[in-house]
Amino acid sequence: MPAETSDRSKLAVLGSPIAHSLSPTIHRAAYETLGFDWEYDAVELTGESLPAFLGALDRRWRGLSLTMPLKRDVVPLLDWADPLVELVGGANTVVVSEGHLWGYNTDVEGAMRSFLDAGLSNLESVWILGAGATAASLLVASIRMGAQSIEIFARTPSKAEPLKKLGESLGATLTLRQWKEAMTAAATPDVIMTTVPGGAMDLTFAESVRRGAVLFDVAYDPWPSDVAQSWYEVDGRVISGHDLLINQAIAQVRIFAAGTADVPLPHEADAIDAMRTAIEPPDGHIHS
């Protein structure tokens, strides 16, 4: 692919806290591999400051990645939103073009890719821990992968009511439960997904659950998280936050380059390898 020489060369990830973000590392690795002469930085930003920041973007800007707590805050500020953004109520990707903001969600695609990479092509039952914007994306991804029985564990279950309505609108059966009930629930699902920061996970699970369910932990700082380490200790299967981060990011790169996540980029496999190499030790043992 020839080098991308457009003047629209500025990109960034926005959020708070943002210092721990690996997005600059993986995006820069992808751009270098693909021959894109773009720059990508991290900007500490809260929802209160988001409208002013977006209003000040000039013609040099190509796009933005959004993380906590901005995925929902950005939606009313968009000039256009992909139907998936409207479905899940959050955007993690914004294209800046001719003074307009175009919103997308690549978390759903990233989660589905992560399931498939782990050899999970068909889900039946899942648990989701947390009720924020990422939980909504994982909910939709799970249903698209076949899940029909979904339990959501939240510190305040009433705050998960929008997720329950979303899941039911897509034909799934959802149950809302108190956070701590995840440690004593009788059944073991196919997958347990945790969407809370690593330091906020205070649940422990029985060995039978850790052996029987795949853990999908979106946290990656620190890695392994305590809950991921508990899975590794019994040789349980884990989908890491690195997997989701890379898979949703390559979809973002597609959008930034071509305006759609549906068309793979030339040399995309090389870019994915470069992204993973940039954030994981050479031996690949990120959980040792």
Together in a domain, 68 and 127? no
Together in a domain, 76 and 152? no
CATH number at residue 131: 3.40.50.720
CB 210, CB 230: distance < 8 Å:
yes
Position 3 pLDDT exceeds 80: no
- One-letter amino acid at 93 equals T
Helix (H, G, I), strand (E, B) or coil at 171: coil
Separation between Cα atoms, residue 59 and residue 213, nearest integer Å:
48
Q: What is the DSSP string of 75-90?
A: GGG-SEE-HHHHHHT-
Separation between Cα atoms, residue 166 and residue 160, nearest integer Å:
10
| Model confidence band, residue 6 (pLDDT cutoffs 50, 70, 90) | low
- Does 4 reside within a domain? no
- Does 1 reside within a domain? no
CB 190, CB 120: distance < 8 Å:
yes
Together in a domain, 94 and 195? no
Together in a domain, 125 and 197? yes
Separation between Cα atoms, residue 259 and residue 4, nearest integer Å:
14
Together in a domain, 153 and 253? no
Together in a domain, 127 and 211? yes
- Does 5 reside within a domain? no
Together in a domain, 123 and 168? yes
Count of the separate structural domains present in the chain: 2
Separation between Cα atoms, residue 188 and residue 149, nearest integer Å:
12
- Does 114 reside within a domain? no
Q: What is the per-residue pLDDT across 37-83, written as a single tens digit (0 to 9) for each?
A: 999 999 999 999 999 999 999 999 999 999 988 999 999 999 999 99
178 phi and psi angles, rounded to 5 deg: -65, 145
Separation between Cα atoms, residue 62 and residue 259, nearest integer Å:
11
Distances (CA, A) of 282 to 24, 243, 279, 285, 286: 19, 16, 9, 8, 9
- Does 19 reside within a domain? yes
Position 196 pLDDT exceeds 50: yes
Together in a domain, 157 and 259? no
Position 21 pLDDT exceeds 70: yes
Together in a domain, 186 and 88? no
Separation between Cα atoms, residue 245 and residue 248, nearest integer Å:
6
With tokens 């030339």, the residue in question is 266
- Does 144 reside within a domain? yes
| Model confidence band, residue 199 (pLDDT cutoffs 50, 70, 90) | low
CATH number at residue 71: 3.40.50.10860
Separation between Cα atoms, residue 256 and residue 106, nearest integer Å:
12
Together in a domain, 228 and 151? yes
For the chain, percent helix, then strand, then coil, each to nearest 5? 40, 20, 40
Together in a domain, 161 and 225? yes
- The pTM for the full model equals 0.92
Together in a domain, 140 and 232? yes
Residue numbers of the domain that contains 265? 10-105+243-279
Q: What is the torsion angle, in degrees rounded to the nearest 10, for the CA atoms of residue 239, residue 240, residue 244 and residue 250?
A: -110
Distance from the Cα of residue 198 to its chain's centroid: 14
- What does the mean pLDDT of the chain come to? 93
- Does 52 reside within a domain? yes
Determine which helix (DSSP H) or strand (DSSP E) holds 4, and give its type and residue range.
none
Q: What is the per-residue pLDDT across 103-120, written as a single tens digit (0 to 9) for each?
A: 999 999 999 999 999 999
Separation between Cα atoms, residue 215 and residue 166, nearest integer Å:
23
- Does 111 reside within a domain? no
Which residue numbers are catalytic? 71
Q: What is the per-residue pLDDT across 226-277, written as a single tens digit (0 to 9) for each?
A: 999 999 999 999 999 999 999 999 999 999 999 999 999 999 999 999 999 9
